[in-house]
């Protein structure tokens, strides 16, 4: 069997599916039927999805869930979450309800600065390069006026351009380090367009700079690209209440719970092996909302995990303390999000999610996403320090096991009834199903 194919992208959608079905599947007709089963019956909607990416053959569904009762800065929000993992939405909703009677979530955007860089090689006298940059800086702004005009009307644009000497890291390596404000757009295309113009201006102006030698004039631009590390695009989110107010069904002794909770967070601050899983819980909440609102969760993940390593050791994103009888739980995270452009204006369910969130600005979306992350982290830590993480998770996972073994309606009733009072594990559920069928 020859798995290589030339000109695949030029094939029609049906031709692509025919090739895949016949090349990789024992039953091509069955594979084709499954692929087409997930097509949308609305042809215009399907075409829209087909054109989001390349070589599309079908749609890959992820559930869109809802977590209500989030009290954020005194206003209630219902948060959409696109995720396939059991218990995440339930845990977020449970946290939301818990904190709604204890003052809710407080969220504040600290800064919204985005970053882009032109990476270049310069072989020459550094003082002459610095002189050249000081003389040329205004030209960088003027040559991008056509690109920045509309952004400036919305209150955004280029904030500053710096020349950075990176020769201690790599021979002859320098940067134009540029900061941007992109308002309600994530701004990737805007930033990259500005940076590419900067690289042209850099090379052209260097050739005309009289103080440069012939070698110095030959500046080599390696690449021009935005950075997904945005440590100055920050949002802070927190919850707090008197320690005794933490009491509820699973928290009989609130002071003991609070102390154990703070220690659990402290472990994640000092132990990277724990911090990774701890922060994964934060990202369960963040990624689900980022995906539901049509933003780039890969960029968000990369930037946040880099931020978690800013001290030189990977550490917890969230923090907790008890001070003067008050329990506080908070985090500051970088979030470069957009509410206009990209999928936010194209994907129908993204539009629905944005409307559900009452059409937030980029700053408001930063607050909402950060709240979802902290809520998810609180839920995980509360379970870990009280009943254990598996009890609630396995209850949610029970449905997946029943679906996997195609349990009938009658079997589902008996399974759920039995596991109300018995410990849930994959093997015990499967064993119970097999016993029912004997």
Residue numbers annotated as active site: 85, 280, 296, 393
Placement of tokens 């440590």 in the chain = 231
Q: What Cα–Cα distance (Å) separates residue 90 from each residue in 52, 250, 284?
A: 30, 16, 12
Evaluate whether 350 touches 326 at the Cβ level (below 8 Å): no
Give the residue among 129, 168, 182 at the shortest CA–CA distance from 363. 182
Give the residue among 184, 116, 93 at the shortest CA–CA distance from 392. 93
Q: How far apart are CA 160 and CA 158, in angstroms?
A: 6
How many other C-beta atoms are found inside a 10 Å radius of the C-beta of residue 412? 14
- φ, ψ of residue 159 to 5 degrees: the values are -85, -45
Evaluate whether 104 touches 74 at the Cβ level (below 8 Å): yes
How many other C-beta atoms are found inside a 10 Å radius of the C-beta of residue 4? 5
Both tokens of residue 178?
Answer: 């540029």
Strand partners, 224: 118
Q: How many residues does the chain have?
A: 438
Q: How many CA atoms lie within 13 A of 237 on its CB side?
A: 31
Give the residue among 175, 166, 179 at the shortest CA–CA distance from 202. 175
Evaluate whether 403 touches 361 at the Cβ level (below 8 Å): no
């Amino acid at each position: 069997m020859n798995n290589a194919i030339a000109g695949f992208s030029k094939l029609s959608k049906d031709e692509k599916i025919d090739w895949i079905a016949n090349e990789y599947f024992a039953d091509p007709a069955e594979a084709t039927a499954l692929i087409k089963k997930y097509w949308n019956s609305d042809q215009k909607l399907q075409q829209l999805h087909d054109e989001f990416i390349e070589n599309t053959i079908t749609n890959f569904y992820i559930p869109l869930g809802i977590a209500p009762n989030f009290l954020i800065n005194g206003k209630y929000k219902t948060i959409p979450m696109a995720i396939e993992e059991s218990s995440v939405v339930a845990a977020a909703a449970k946290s939301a309800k818990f904190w709604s009677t204890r003052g809710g979530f407080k969220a504040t955007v600290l800064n919204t600065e985005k970053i882009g860089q032109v990476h270049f090689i310069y072989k020459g006298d550094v003082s002459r390069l610095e002189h050249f940059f000081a003389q040329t800086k205004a030209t960088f702004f003027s040559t991008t006026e056509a690109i920045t005009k509309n952004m400036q009307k919305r209150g955004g644009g280029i904030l500053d351009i710096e020349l950075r000497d990176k020769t201690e890291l790599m021979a002859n390596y320098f940067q134009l380090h540029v900061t941007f404000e992109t308002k309600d757009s994530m701004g990737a295309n805007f930033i990259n367009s500005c940076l590419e113009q900067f690289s042209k201006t850099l090379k052209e102006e260097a050739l005309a700079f009289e103080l440069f030698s012939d070698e110095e004039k030959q500046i080599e631009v390696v690449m021009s690209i935005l950075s997904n590390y945005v440590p100055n695009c920050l949002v802070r989110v927190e919850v707090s209440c008197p320690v005794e107010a933490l009491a509820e069904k699973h928290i009989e002794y609130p002071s003991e719970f609070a102390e154990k909770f703070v220690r659990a967070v402290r472990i994640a601050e000092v132990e990277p092996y724990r911090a990774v899983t701890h922060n994964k819980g934060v990202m369960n909440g963040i990624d689900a909302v980022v995906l539901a609102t049509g933003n780039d969760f890969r960029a968000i993940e990369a930037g946040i995990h880099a931020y978690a390593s800013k001290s030189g050791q990977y550490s917890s994103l969230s923090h907790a303390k008890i001070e003067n009888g008050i329990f506080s739980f908070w985090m500051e995270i970088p979030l470069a999000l957009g509410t206009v452009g990209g999928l936010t204006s194209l994907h129908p369910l993204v539009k629905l999610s944005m409307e559900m969130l009452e059409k937030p600005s980029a700053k408001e979306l930063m607050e909402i996403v950060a709240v979802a992350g902290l809520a998810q982290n609180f839920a995980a830590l509360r379970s870990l320090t009280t009943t254990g993480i598996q009890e609630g998770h396995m209850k949610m996972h029970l449905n997946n096991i029943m679906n996997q073994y195609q349990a009938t309606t009658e079997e589902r009733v008996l399974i759920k009834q039995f596991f109300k009072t018995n410990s849930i594990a994959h093997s015990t559920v499967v064993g119970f199903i097999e016993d029912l069928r004997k």
